[in-house]
Structure 1
Amino acid sequence: MAPTEELSSGEIYPLKTWEELLEWTGQNLHNVIVNTKKLCSRVSPHSPSHPKTLVCHDMKGGYLEDRLFSGSKNKDAYRFYHWSGIDTFVYFSHHFVTIPPPGWINTAHHHGVKVLGTLITEWDEGANICQKMLANEDSVAACVSQLVKIANYHSFEGWLINIENKIDPEQVEQLRDFVQKLTLAMKESLPDALVLWYDSVTTRGELCWQNELNNYNRPFFDACDGIFLNYTWTNDHLIRSREVAGERTGQVYVGLDVFGRNFYEGGKFNTHKALEAARLHNLSAAIFAQGWTHETQDNFVEAEKMMWSSLAPYLAHHGPSCLPFRTSFCQGFGSKHFLRGKIEGSNPWYDLSKQQYQPLWSQEQGSATMTLETTEAFTGGGCLRLTTVSPSTVRLFVCGISWRVALIVSLCYKWCGPVVPFSLELHLGPATVTSDTPVTQRIVTLICENNSGKLEDNAHIEENENLASGNSLESTEQVMTENPDQPPMVVDTEENGWTIRSFSIKEVEGNELKQIDLKLEGASSVLVGELDLTNRCIKGLG
């Protein structure tokens, strides 16, 4: 879908009744055209069978500032930026059909994370909806058709089905058929679609949470792509779930309530203990209400860091897999808005669609601390601040990027402490790894010092001419690609107080860029405004 100026006035709303669902005809957004990004590809260092991680976002009833297409002026609204550690994002509310707002879809898709909406029925009102929805095959077909159309229109990948009311026993089989038909219809529309069942109503039609996979909910599990278990489980529940799931252990999502309501080890900052328990049984996890850090803690950033650092050892981190790749590290908010180092707007803002690709926030090593700086930025509302008191390394990304012609890498930075050797390390390894593949890697290092440029490849340093500042991007590329037989050059440009250091790497057959690190050799602090990896054609090659 093409961008449109009409987005500025748009809001997204849920569908609250059965009639609203049937009457939905393409949009309920007051003639506003929805513009959402398609799901981007990404890479994981783990096998496809590795347990997955889902985040289910339950935030004060939903549809807060995030419902606004163009965002708001509340820079303190909730944001999520730990995308590298999760596979699926569910937007949840207690309305009948919850449609994820475009901002969440855009930033999740930018990071390669699937998005699900929610269909929920609750209590007496929910029971009445289910009576209509399951009345006959035509009503089931109409519901399935509308849900598929909504997902296609808004460009998200599927649904969480949560039936939290009694079902007439004679309609239970119709409910199972509904789940199966929705799953099949979504996959016909989108092969990578995902439909999950919440552990609530049983095959007897009773609202009786099982906290495990068993014969009372397995028919619904068999009809879709997985089950989201209720939260009051014990280790015995997990053992039985693993046994019943068989080869589908990764499709059992153990519910983790961050608020800790009658939950294993109390949730909150002990949530990682529950995640560890799930992983011991090779089960996936569904983290519910992760916004606890924003809703209840005085310092959201510190609480978020504490929470996700404790979860990190049990997550399979993902990263970018294609070119071009560029990020300014903006989290979709700011006190100001910057464009290439200049202040473009002086008002606070919040817009999840403007969030840039986020690094691995939990991968610091040594004394390094990596924070988001919002008083300065190159583009957007923030940049990275890397601070150390001793030599330290921070892993920015795991990735799987290959290239067929020269890769041009640009790093935009600004010193805010003593100038010490500071480097960007790119780790190259075999694209295809087997049991016989050597674990060696080639490391290409761009060293950033004041008024000097060095490129290090496997500890071999080439001194290159420091080209005059002020070169345009076009002239930089021309100088770097004129003679492919010469060692790669390092090129500096200056823009509004920021240094942009660029260099090229020739394609290495059978190799991929596997990870990207930042390294400070001594006590200092540096701002990193942008990282840009671009594939360019080198004259004389190919």
Structure 2
Amino acid sequence: MSRRQALAAGASALAAGAATLSVAAVATAHAVAPTDLQPYASYWYPDTLPPGTPPPGVRRRSLRTWTAAGDPDLPFNRAAVPLAPRFAPPPPNSTARRDEARISALAAFAPTSGNPSQGAATADYYALTHWAYLDELVFWGGSSDEGLILAPNAPVVDAAHRNGVPVLGTVFLPPTAYGGRLEWTRDLVRRDADGGFPLADKLIEVARAYGFDGWFLNAETGGGDARLGADMRDFVAYLRRLGGTGLRVTWYDAMAISGDIAWQNELNDRNSPFFRAADTMFLNFNWSRTGLASSGELARSLGRSPYELWAGIDVEANGWDTRVDWDAVVPAGRPHIASYGFYRPEWTWKSLPGTDRAPAAFHARDDRFWSGASLDPTRPDPGPWRAPAVCVADRSTLTSLPFATTFNTGHGLGWYERGVRGQGDTPWNHLGLQDRLPGRRWVIHTAGARPAVGFDFADAWRGGSSLLTDLIDAATAEPTTVELYASRLPLSPATVAELAHRTDPGSAAVRVELAVALDEPDRFTCLPVGTLPAGGSGWTTVTLRLASLLHGRAAATAHVLGIRLTAPDGGSVRWRLGELALHDGPPAPPGPPDTPAVIATARNPDGTAALRLSWRPTPRRAGPVRHYELHQVVPGGRPRFLGGTCGHAYYVPALRRTADEAVTRIEVRAVDELYIASAPASVTYRW
């Protein structure tokens, strides 16, 4: 298979993993078949449906007939987190550039069909965390047997938006070799009586209703003519113009203006009409040095930036062993030529053996992919893999208080609250619950041995993970500073920091300090947090006043947040950070959600119940709500965590009855940015 066929084959192959559950849904409260309740990420054909019986678990739908009012799964798929503004701090090395190349990524989180709207009961998931290097994420997929137009599910969008990354849905018109039909392309660009494009209007409506940021257009079905090429160009221009500044359009280099499929691997006269109509273009994978150079020159002559061109890099098969002519795209010592786009960076997850796809193993590989083999952006790896941290400046959204993180990656082997794992909790994933995580993995200052730092899932303060630092055989008492966050956080005499930390059994003693860089990013002032004794200890919470950092000033800015660790007696230290929060005094708890209700139910064969719930946000809340959490009240026991969401509807797949209770009560709480929960709003289910 040629590299230019990778997009088509990769999307079509997703159909093979389709789940066997129906995606039909109900919106009224009555008992139905269990398979009717599970909401899934949405996918459509433009209009005409393929003949024959769909594969198991696939529901074929037309976008032309879709309406928001008639979409019962929309409340479960609607993203709720706004796109955060972000900034580029000074790069950690001399090779990364702030105003040049950026990165797009086409990532498949799940098959096209059978992709749950709100996570699932498994930690085996592509929990992307390296948002700092991304300029846009494409929710990739689609197949001729299932559907061609994919709307990203809410957890992915909410996590990306929290980190300032826009997310695009996919419009995939496959080659005829993979089941493509030219009538689907003609359906997409069909005009109405006024010359407009009804399906472009639908794409805009879907993006706004679902809360994502635009569309990746991939037209690869052959057989077109010049009229079709002109209609497609006008369609792209209409979509971009009518969508306004809040909607992005990326065009994939496949269809030429002549209407036929002719991958150019560069920007030229055959595809530049689409580039002029779109915001950016993803160039096919077989680009060359001279082709990229001429592409940049043509982009500038059109009044556009060369960094609006993504040079495609296919990493699906070989990941960091992929051979790339990096100097053709991001040459060292000279201005970058273009931006670049990764095709299928979830290789770091998918290429793990099925028996070893543990979360910690995945994150270790993902850190290497994005940061390089050195695992330190300040020390770029000289090997053939030019990791993003080597050449692209990271970005941050930490610009205001309150800020808090529990180093929750959006999946875990159990759910923890205040260091206690819930009884009977199972593995889970839900990217919408992911925290803002350190963008630079890992910048470490020490005169001693470099420690191992990473996310760990054996214990947590809240969520599913904590930050584990291994100072192995620290023979001397040399301090080690781990940079965590680049920021522009405003500090005042009222600002306090809160930490939750612990050591594992068998650890040596460790002295812990909060490291803050104010005026210069590489000069830290350290505040003592405390010393944890040898032998390991349970979670300890500490509150620090930061007024001493200001030296009498009324305000200052924290540019870097970090931790300094010292093993005063030497030995091996295993230290965990479970929470880090900064605020100017805790706000009042948020108000509870309004009128939660069970809107649909079903009994499962194992005796559990499937529920759809919804609620309205209350106007009485004291501040912004980060997300909502649901707990089952267990008579005589701790509440059972059911899940969480940033939206206002949630699906519970298997509510377990406690003893012979006739009624089960579920509590819904609003949770703010400091993880302060509201009073509960209750709803009941009668068995």
TM-score range for the pair, normalised by the shorter chain length: 0.7 to 0.9
Q: CA deviation at 1:532?
A: 0.6
- Residue number in structure 1 paired with 2:274: 220
Q: CA deviation at 1:74?
A: 1.3
- Residue number in structure 2 paired with 1:23: 65
The TM-score, its normalising length taken from structure 2, stands at: 0.64
- Superposition pairs for residues 232-311 of structure 1, below 5 Å? 232-246=286-300, 247-259=304-316, 267-271=318-322, 273-274=324-325, 277-280=328-331, 281-298=336-353, 299-310=361-372, 311=387
- Residue number in structure 2 paired with 1:449: 530
Q: Residues 27 and 236 of structure 1: is their aligned pair in 2 closer, same or farther, counting only changes over 3 Å?
A: farther
Q: Deviations over 1:88-133 (max 9, x none)?
A: 1110112321100111011111111111111121234442122233
SS at 2:369 equivalent = helix
Q: CA deviation at 1:140?
A: 4.6
Q: CA deviation at 1:217?
A: 0.9
Choose which of 171, 176, 187 in structure 1 pairs with 2:233. Answer: 176
- Whole-angstrom CA distance in 1 between matches of 2:491 and 2:443: 28
- Whole-angstrom CA distance in 1 between matches of 2:187 and 2:137: 29
Q: Does residue 1:49 correspond to 2:99, yes or no?
A: yes
- Residue number in structure 2 paired with 1:98: 150
Moved more, 83-92 or 392-401: 392-401
8 Å Cα contact 1:126/1:164 also seen in 2: no
Q: Does residue 1:356 correspond to 2:435, yes or no?
A: yes
- Residue number in structure 2 paired with 1:371: 454
Q: Deviations over 1:370-398 (max 9, x none)?
A: 12221211100110001124543322111
- Whole-angstrom CA distance in 2 between matches of 1:82 and 1:292: 14
- Whole-angstrom CA distance in 1 between matches of 2:141 and 2:484: 33
Q: Residues 378 and 274 of structure 1: is their aligned pair in 2 closer, same or farther, counting only changes over 3 Å?
A: farther
Q: Deviations over 1:314-336 (max 9, x none)?
A: 23211222221111111111221
Q: CA deviation at 1:270?
A: 3.3
- Residue number in structure 2 paired with 1:515: 560
- Superposition pairs for residues 319-338 of structure 1, below 5 Å? 319=396, 320-338=398-416
Choose which of 463, 487, 509 in structure 2 pairs with 1:419. Answer: 509
SS at 1:43 equivalent = coil
Q: Does residue 1:159 correspond to 2:242, yes or no?
A: no
Give the letter for the 2:68 counterpart.
Answer: G
- Residue number in structure 2 paired with 1:14: 43
Q: Residues 40 and 128 of structure 1: is their aligned pair in 2 closer, same or farther, counting only changes over 3 Å?
A: same
Q: Deviations over 1:160-180 (max 9, x none)?
A: 111112332112222111111
- Residue number in structure 1 paired with 2:480: 392
- Whole-angstrom CA distance in 2 between matches of 1:5 and 1:407: 48
SS at 1:22 equivalent = coil
Q: CA deviation at 1:340?
A: 1.2
The TM-score, its normalising length taken from structure 1, stands at: 0.80
SS at 1:525 equivalent = strand
Q: Residues 515 and 277 of structure 1: is their aligned pair in 2 closer, same or farther, counting only changes over 3 Å?
A: farther
Percent sequence identity over aligned pairs: 23
- Whole-angstrom CA distance in 1 between matches of 2:544 and 2:39: 40
Kindly indicate which of the two structures has a greater share of residues assigned to helix. 1
Q: Does residue 1:316 correspond to 2:393, yes or no?
A: yes
- Residue number in structure 1 paired with 2:573: 524
- Cα RMSD, aligned residues only: 2.9
Choose which of 558, 565, 582 in structure 2 pairs with 1:533. Answer: 582
Q: Residues 424 and 403 of structure 1: is their aligned pair in 2 closer, same or farther, counting only changes over 3 Å?
A: closer
8 Å Cα contact 1:428/1:441 also seen in 2: no
Choose which of 231, 254, 264 in structure 2 pairs with 1:200. Answer: 254
Give the letter for the 2:402 counterpart.
Answer: P
- Residue number in structure 1 paired with 2:617: none
- Residue number in structure 1 paired with 2:188: 133
Give the letter for the 1:444 counterpart.
Answer: T
8 Å Cα contact 1:56/1:89 also seen in 2: yes
Q: Residues 425 and 215 of structure 1: is their aligned pair in 2 closer, same or farther, counting only changes over 3 Å?
A: same
8 Å Cα contact 1:231/1:256 also seen in 2: yes
